[in-house]
Amino acid sequence: MDSSTFEYALRLPNSLFKTNREKFFAAFKQKVTEHEKALIVFKGKDDLPVDDTDIDYSVRQESFFYYLFGVQETGCSAAIDITEEKVILFYPRFDEIYKLWMKVLSLEDVQELYPDFEVHFVDEMEEYVKDFSPSQIFINKGVNSDSGAETILPKFKWLEEHKVETELLHPILSECRVTKNPEEITILEIANKISSEAHCWTMKHCKPGVRESYLESKFKAYCMENYNCKIVPYVSICACGPNPSTLHYVVNSDILPDNTMCLIDMGHQVHCYGADITCCYPTNGKFTEKQAAIHNLVVKANRTVQNIMKPGVNWRDMHLLAEKITLEGLKELGIIKEDVDIEEALNERVGFVFQPHGLGHLIGLDTHDVGGYLPNTPTRSTKWGLKNLRTARDLEENMVITVEPGCYFIPSLIQERAVDLGIDIDKYVNLDLALEYRKEVAGVRIEDCVLITEDGVKNLTQVPRTIEQIEACMRGDDWTELPDFEI
Ligand SMILES: [Mn+2]
Ligand 1 geometric centre to CA of 183 (Å): 22
> Strands of 261-266's sheet, edge to edge?
237-240, 261-266, 277-282
Written as one string, the DSSP assignment of 190-209 is HHHHHHHHHHHHHHHT--TT
Give the β-pairing of 137-139 and 164-165: parallel
DSSP 3-state assignment of 56? strand
Ligand 1: centre distance to CA 414 (Å): 23
Residue 439 is which amino acid?
K
Amino acid, single-letter form, for residue 441: V
| Distance from the alpha carbon of residue 390 to the mean position of ligand 1, in angstroms | 10
CA distance linking residue 430 with residue 409, whole number of Å: 12
Q: How far is the CA of 361 from the centre of ligand 1 (A)?
A: 7
What is the rounded CA–CA span in Å between residue 162 and residue 311?
43
3-state SS, 144-177, equals CCCCCCECCCCCCHHHHHCCEECCCHHHHHHHHH
Distance CA 354, CA 378 (A): 25
Please work out, in degrees rounded to the nearest 5, the angle formed at the alpha carbon of residue 335 by the alpha carbons of 329 and 336: 75
- Cα 266 to middle of ligand 1, angstroms: 9
**What are the sequence ranges of the domains in the chain?**
3-177, 182-475
Q: What are 435's strand-pairing partners?
A: none
Between the CA of 265 and the centroid of ligand 1 the distance, in Å, is: 8
Q: In terms of DSSP bridges, do strands 164-165 and 269-270 run parallel, antiparallel, or are they unpaired?
A: unpaired
Domains 3-177 and 182-475 are alike in CATH topology: no
pLDDT of residue 304: 97
Residues, beta carbon < 5 Å, ion ligand 1: 276, 402
Cα–Cα distance measured from residue 215 to residue 299, given in angstroms and rounded to the nearest whole number: 22
Tell how far the Cα of 284 is from the centroid of ligand 1, in angstroms.
25
DSSP reduced 3-state for 277: strand
Q: Is 421 exposed, middle or buried (0-12, 13-18, 19+ CB in 10 A)?
A: middle
Q: Please state, in angstroms and rounded to a whole number, the distance separating the CA atoms of residues 267 and 264.
A: 10
Give residue 307's pLDDT. Answer: 97
**Measured in angstroms, how far is the CA atom of residue 200 from the centroid of ligand 1?**
18
Tell me the CA–centroid distance for residue 67 and ligand 1, in Å. Answer: 21
Strands 77-81 and 39-43, by their bridges, are antiparallel
Distance, CA 360 to ligand 1 centroid (Å)? 6
399 Cα–ligand 1 center, Å: 15
Strand duo 406-408 + 400-403: pairing: unpaired
Tell me how far the alpha carbon of residue 409 lies from the centroid of ligand 1, in angstroms.
19
What's the CA gap between 232 and 220, in Å, rounded? Answer: 8
CA of 367 to the centre of ligand 1 (A): 7
Please give the CATH superfamily to which domain 3-177 belongs.
Answer: Creatinase/prolidase N-terminal domain (3.40.350.10)
| Per-residue pLDDT tens listing for the chain (487 residues) | 788 889 999 999 999 999 999 999 999 999 998 889 999 999 999 999 999 999 999 899 999 999 999 999 999 999 999 999 999 999 999 988 888 888 899 999 999 999 999 999 999 999 999 999 999 999 999 999 999 999 999 999 999 999 999 999 999 999 999 999 999 999 999 999 999 999 999 999 999 999 999 999 999 999 999 999 989 999 999 999 999 999 899 999 999 999 899 999 999 999 999 999 999 999 999 999 999 999 999 999 999 999 999 999 999 999 999 999 999 999 999 999 999 999 999 999 999 999 999 999 999 999 999 999 999 999 999 988 899 999 999 999 999 999 999 999 999 888 877 778 888 889 999 999 999 999 999 999 999 999 999 999 999 999 999 999 999 999 988 766 666 666 6
Question: Is residue 187 a contact partner of residue 19, using CB atoms and an 8 Å limit?
Answer: no
Closest CA to 413 of 248, 246, 242, 292: 246
pTM of the model: 0.96
Q: How far apart are the first and last CA of the chain?
A: 28
The fold adopted by the segment(s) 182-475 is Creatine Amidinohydrolase (3.90.230)
CA dihedral 207, 208, 211, 215 (to 10 degrees): 20
Contact 73, 103 (CB under 8 A): no
- 238 in Cβ contact with 282 (< 8 Å): no
Q: Tell me, in angstroms, the distance from the centre of ligand 1 to residue 277's CA.
A: 7
